[in-house]
Amino acid sequence: MRQQVLVLYLASSALDSDVVGWSRYDGTGRTRPTTGDGDEPPYSTALAALQDGWRLFQASQLLPPHPGHEYDVSFPKHEFFFEKLEEGAHP
Amino acid sequence: MRVKTNQQWTISAHDPDEPGPYVRRMPTSKHLLTSVQMARFVAQGFLRLDGVVPQEINERALATLAEGIPQVPYGAPLSGAFTRDTFIHGLLALPDVAGAVESLVGPEPTVDHHAVHVREPHEGKAQALHADAIIDVRPDAFDIQLMYYPHDVTPEMGGTLSVPGSHLRRINETDIGRVQNLRGQTRLTCPAGTVVLVHHGIWHSGRRNDTAHRRSLYKLRLNPTVPQVRLWDTSDLHDPAVTAELGTYFPWYEQAAARLEVYNRVLLWRALTGDESFDIDHWVTRVSNRPAPRRTA
């Protein structure tokens, strides 16, 4: 079995909020997703991904801002990792 | 009191129309940016000039880029860095380019470095998303990077990916690399002779080139040597479109962080204009309000 990984970046910490960013990593080696390879997200929300069989295995923690850095912006904040297990080995 | 000097109107600190210590600049032959264009740069982190370079310079550039470009020492004054017979001198002398550069980093910037970036035919993968150099959080200064595309860039050639409004996000180089796509990202396609000027913090990537042709671009990073205050044509400074540009939301922003983006742009606009009272929807004023105790008689 090989792991397909889907990373979704959401508009808020709620799983039914809009997808604003995404990444794909293919453990089967059948596809080669890469930076900037699409303009439309694979799902409109993370909930839609769950309904399509993706299994959530990591979610961003809700961390309070560091004192003095309350107005800083940095990495996309609401990051969720999903997987599907599929048959197939790397060629 | 106004004094006309060297094609620019100078307004004294006591001018009732425009109080403040800074020069108010009017249009010159260099095609300075407008306040609306500057506000767009502050919001988006880049300025795009499509097809502004004539074909004659594009052809010279392509020949030079294939051979390689000479090193320029860090900190070399731009005015003396490139001889008149180079395509780079011709590129920087174009009124649209010269005006944009001066508006952003002022007269007499210095060369940080320059380079030729190539995406090879059928390279197979893209660069990881990144910001150049190292994390750089200067609140009141920025470098620009001039990116010049001397040939047409088609969708299949893997034109530069950039993320509008990412330049104020605090990340270090490729730490952002596992993010592949963000809604509203720009996958550049452009005609030959296009110049894009980007803020040093913009997230970008050289996309995968799926053609049989090399894709080349010339990049030049410039450092300011003067405070970046009112360096552009400020005659439209109070145009409502300035505030509209600064308040732009991008599709990849989180709902809450989008407000912080506007907050941070207000701070940068205050630094660039010298106007400490500027605000949008009270975002900065509200959280800065700390009334002092009232004195009692």
Residue B286 located in a structural domain: no
* pLDDT at residue B28, rounded to an integer: 52
CA distance A1 to chain B (A): 23
- Considering the entire predicted model, what is its pTM? 0.91
Asked whether residue B77 falls in the same domain as residue B216, the answer is: yes
DSSP letter string, B179-191: --EETT-EE--B-
Chain A: residues touching B (Cβ < 8 Å): 7, 9-12, 17, 19-24, 32-39, 41, 71-78
Give the 3-state DSSP-derived string for B98-154, with helices as H, strands as E and coil as C.
HHHHHHHHCCCCEEEEEEEEEECCCCCCCCCCECCCCCCCCCCCCCEEEEEECCCEC
Asked whether residue B23 falls in the same domain as residue B40, the answer is: no
Residue B73 located in a structural domain: yes
DSSP letter string, A67-78: TT-TT---S-SE
In chain A, which residues have their Cβ closer than 8 Å to the Cβ of B179? 7, 9, 21, 23, 75-76
In chain A, which residues have their Cβ closer than 8 Å to the Cβ of B205? 35-36
Residue A62 backbone phi and psi in degrees, to 5: -90, 105
The H or E element spanning position B41 is: helix B35-44
Residue B249 located in a structural domain: no
What residue numbers bound the domain in which B102 lies? 35-223
Q: What is the pLDDT of residues B181-196, one digit of tens each?
A: 999 999 999 999 999 9
Asked whether residue B112 falls in the same domain as residue B160, the answer is: yes
User: How confident is residue B30, by pLDDT bands cut at 50, 70 and 90?
Assistant: confident
Tokens for B87?
């395509």
Rounded Cα gap, residues A89 and A71, in angstroms: 46
Tokens for B55?
């074909």
Question: Residue A90: pLDDT above 70?
Answer: no
Asked whether residue B71 falls in the same domain as residue B16, the answer is: no
Task: Output the furthest CA–CA distance in chain B (Å, rounded).
Answer: 83
Asked whether residue B190 falls in the same domain as residue B159, the answer is: yes
* pLDDT at residue B114, rounded to an integer: 97
Asked whether residue B44 falls in the same domain as residue B190, the answer is: yes
Domain ranges of chain A: 2-86
Residue B99 located in a structural domain: yes
In chain B, which residues have their Cβ closer than 8 Å to the Cβ of A41? 181, 183
Closest Cα in chain A to B267? A71
Q: What is the pLDDT of residues B157-173, one digit of tens each?
A: 989 999 999 999 999 99
Asked whether residue B119 falls in the same domain as residue B183, the answer is: yes
Q: What is the pLDDT of residues B240-280, one digit of tens each?
A: 999 999 999 999 999 999 999 999 999 999 999 999 999 99
Provide the 3-class DSSP secondary structure of residue B49: strand
Asked whether residue B14 falls in the same domain as residue B62, the answer is: no
* pLDDT at residue B235, rounded to an integer: 97
